Structure 1
Amino acid sequence: MTPRAGLRLSGGLVSAALVGIAFHLLGLPLAWIFGSMLGSAVYANCVPGIGRTHLIRRAGQLLIGSSVASVLDVATIRDVAGYLPAMVAAAVASNAVGVLLALPLARLAGVDRLSALLAALPAGMSEMASLAADLGARADFVMVAHSLRVVLVVLTVPVLIGLDRSGAPLPAGPAGGSVEALVACLLLGSLLAYGASRMNLLNPWIIMPMSVGVALVLAGFQLAAMPSPLLAAAQIAIGFSLGTRLKREDLTRLPRATLAGLAASLALVAAMMVLAAFVMPGLTGLGFSSLALAMAPGGLGEMIATAKALGLASALVASFQFVRSFMTNLLAPLIILKLVGRDRGS
């Protein structure tokens, strides 16, 4: 990275942090995420060439993953594991809705079926955009559609949770714990995440510190809670990375595709919220507040950060989100071959 590029990137991060601080001082909900997202979006559209923000996003994800591990104990791990059938059912349902939306999305956006399918499936933006590039689909459209969906989820789902009065969140986790164990989780998780990223494994910068934390807890070590300033920094990093995706030129260059992607995102979010409100509580015994974030088709890091900010069951949210993302990436090649493989001669 050149000094000028580093200066532009630093300026964007400072802008995001300042707006996040302002939102926090005003007492606004989700201040660190919303504020940093707004600050970085404005900065990225005023200062061209901000560059790649992946290192900042990864740092935020490492902190978020470690913070989830810090609220775990053996009982919590056992309780969360008991919801695995519900996690699989939610993942299958969200993928089914995504498949149903693919054809109307292709017609509304004026893109091919493969691009629409990759844009509608509820997986991570980077994974689906990379797959689109590998298969010759519209990677730009896929990136815009996924970015809009994550922003839509971050903006709307907390509002729905605020209107809900049923179902208290699960316990936040045990008090006390070892600072040394938390540091070990963060450092070892970083090393494993780097190695996993070289092998293109799924969401390593969140999953690996969480996995290390689970191993430490099962081995008898209790992690200390993540300090509030580090949690705020993690949320700023996540919001900053999300805001830099909202480039005016991308949205105006693909106006029809942008509107179609927004409509499809609304439909997917609405379908999952209906399931979270009326179906899953009866199957799991969980309240809507926890299920809404657990089933929302947003990014793994964004949903965990939102759960932490709202004081909800971040371990449960992380587990639901990971299972859905993992299953979507696992099923995507099979879905592509079944639905569009013949059209593309593969």
Structure 2
Amino acid sequence: MAENGNGRKPENDAPENDATEAGDDLIPEETPGKPGGDRMTTGKPRGSMVLALAIGAGGGLLFAWAQLPLPWMMGAMVATTIASVAGAGIRVDYRLRTAMIAILGVMLGSAFRPELIDRAGDWAVSIAGLLVYAVTAGALVTWYFRKVGGYDAVTSYFASSPGGLNEMVLVGRAMGGDDRVIALTHSARILLVVMTIPFVFRIFADYTPSGTLLPPGAGLDMAVQDWAILAGCAVVGALIGKLLRIPAAFLVGPMAMSGIIHLAGVTEASPPSLLVACAQVVMGTGIGCRFAGTPVREIARIVKISIGSTIILLVFGVIFGLVLEQVTDVPWFVLVLAYAPGGLAEMSLIALALGRDVAFVATHHIFRIGFIVILAPAAFRLMRRGGGK
């Protein structure tokens, strides 16, 4: 196993699997002690999922009672991270996580309204800025990991790419990087960004939590027709996304299908708030469980290094947001949400909780993931061929 930051190859590699498109920043199956490890290589369950969900739900309830931002996801994430660091044997089965991600995709797609079509053409400048941000911030973070973190060149590069965790882990390992360090670094980045952004908005953007126990949404007494439409969006969208091998297929597929249905005005329904809260608990619990089975010293080292890289990425996001606000008329804090490297689902959920433009934020993160997944490995091969270090 990797015991230091030199990017040494771990002894037990994660098995190849077909889950690289299961969701942005999600690792469905890994070996014991790997971030996100749900199963052992024998296929037997590892750790208690019931305990994990109980801890996550307890954390979510505590955060909701305290009226903290995005309570069900953040509370579950914080509680299970603490439990993981304390040595609890907890896990979240990837099948449950995938189902909950599809529900979140349908919910995010329900924020797409017909008036969105009139605004979509105005996003070209901010999307172009996003690509410039990804390249410049990624290059600086790569340098930071090399000089400050002591990672090797391959590990630094793939640990710095802000998106497509599964792809970056697998490609980075294939090219000689330390997949454990890459995965832990991305997991720490997501953890830090998700914990930071809502509080920043509370301080600087006049965000106030709703004060209700459950997130905004419909009740369980929806019409049967609406239930059927939303369920169809989840299932059909996930299948299409899987067949087309879209990055984050189980999130993007249902979100796209739901978005099309809502843009067409077929329904205005969205998943019930209770179901959304459950999905957020599973989401947050999954993030916290990634640290299960990892030595405390290694977690502390990775988190310490990741704090610096996260600050770099967020500061660059704020700078780009302030500049692009002048030419796009989009508020800088919405641009920060669209650029923040915290995961498509996580940032979209935060946008929804903050009452911001979910469609704008989600679309930009989809472009970010696609850009990095497609171009980052190819760019690294070109740099290596050209003698880049």
Q: TM-score, normalised by structure 2?
A: 0.77
- Identify the match of residue 123 of structure 1 among 144, 163, 169: 163
Where is the helix percentage greater, Structure 1 or Structure 2? Answer: 1
Residue in 2 aligned with 1:292?
A: 336
Within a 5 Å distance, the mapping from 1:29-48 to structure 2 comes to 29-46=69-86, 48=88
Which of 255, 261, 264 is the equivalent residue of 2:306? 261
1:306 aligns with 2:350: yes
Instruction: Kindly indicate whether residue 125 of structure 2 is the aligned counterpart of residue 85 of structure 1.
Output: yes
Distance in 1 of aligned mates of 2:117 and 2:178: 40
- Higher mean Cα deviation, 42-51 or 97-106? 42-51
Please report how far the alpha carbon of residue 124 of structure 1 lies from its aligned counterpart in structure 2 after TM superposition: 2.6
Task: Please tell me the residue identity of whatever aligns with 1:308.
Answer: L
Deviation at 1:184, TM superposition (A): 2.4
- Among 215, 224, 229, the alignment partner of 2:260 is 215
Match of 2:107 in 1: 67
Query: 1: CA distance between counterparts of 2:103 and 2:179?
Result: 29
Superposition deviation, residue 248 in structure 1 = 7.2
Residues 139 and 194 (structure 1), Cα distance of their counterparts in 2 relative to 1, 3 Å cut: farther
Instruction: Indicate yes or no: 2:284 matched with 1:244.
Output: no
Change over 3 Å in CA distance of 1:40–1:256 after alignment to 2: closer
SS in structure 2 opposite 1:340? Answer: helix
Distance 1:326 1:301 in 2: 14
**Gap change, CA 1:327 and 1:179, over 3 Å in 2:** farther
Matched to 2:101, the amino acid is: Q
Q: 1:197 to 1:10 in 2, by over 3 A?
A: farther
d(CA) in 2 for partners of 1:283 and 1:121? 27
Give per-residue Cα distances to partners, 1:274-304, cap 9 Å, x unaligned.
Answer: 222x212112211133222111111111111
Matched ranges for 1:1-346 at <5 A: 5=45, 8-46=48-86, 48-51=88-91, 53-165=93-205, 180-181=225-226, 183-194=228-239, 196-197=241-242, 200-247=245-292, 249-250=294-295, 252-253=297-298, 256-276=301-321, 278-343=322-387
Give the 3 Å change call, closer, same or farther, for CA 283–344 of structure 1 in structure 2: closer
User: How far apart, CA to CA, are the structure 1 residues paired with 2:153 and 2:355?
Assistant: 40
Alpha-carbon distance in structure 1 between the residues aligned to 2:231 and 2:385: 42
Gaps of 5+ in 2: 1-38, 208-215
Q: Given the two structures, how large is their TM-score scaled by the length of structure 1?
A: 0.86
Question: Hey, what's the Cα distance between the residues in 1 that align with 2:79 and 2:280?
Answer: 13
Going from structure 1 to structure 2, the CA distance change for 1:156 and 1:247 (only over 3 Å counts) comes to same
> 2: CA distance between counterparts of 1:245 and 1:142?
13
198 and 51 in structure 1: CA distance in 2 versus 1, 3 angstrom threshold: farther
The answer to whether the Cα contact below 8 Å between 1:19 and 1:35 also exists between their aligned partners in 2 is: yes
Q: What is the identity, as a one-letter code, of the residue corresponding to 2:271?
A: M
Cα pair distance change 1:187/1:45, threshold 3 Å: farther
Equivalent pairs counted in the alignment come to: 338
Q: CA deviation at 1:54?
A: 2.4
Cα distance, 1:261–1:26 mapped onto 2, change above 3 Å: closer
Structure 2 CA distance for partners of 1:179 and 1:281, relative to 1, 3 Å: farther
Q: CA–CA distance in 2 between the matches of 1:251 and 1:336?
A: 32
Q: Is the Cα contact below 8 Å between 1:98 and 1:120 reproduced in 2?
A: yes
Q: Helix, strand or coil: the match of 2:294?
A: helix
CA deviations over 1:229-286 (Å, ceiling 9, x no partner): 122112212111111123473552376554333312221121112222x212112211
CA distance in structure 1 between the partners assigned to 2:315 and 2:360 by the alignment: 21
Give the aligned CA root-mean-square deviation in angstroms: 3.1
Distance in 1 of aligned mates of 2:224 and 2:256: 17
Identity %, equivalent residues: 24
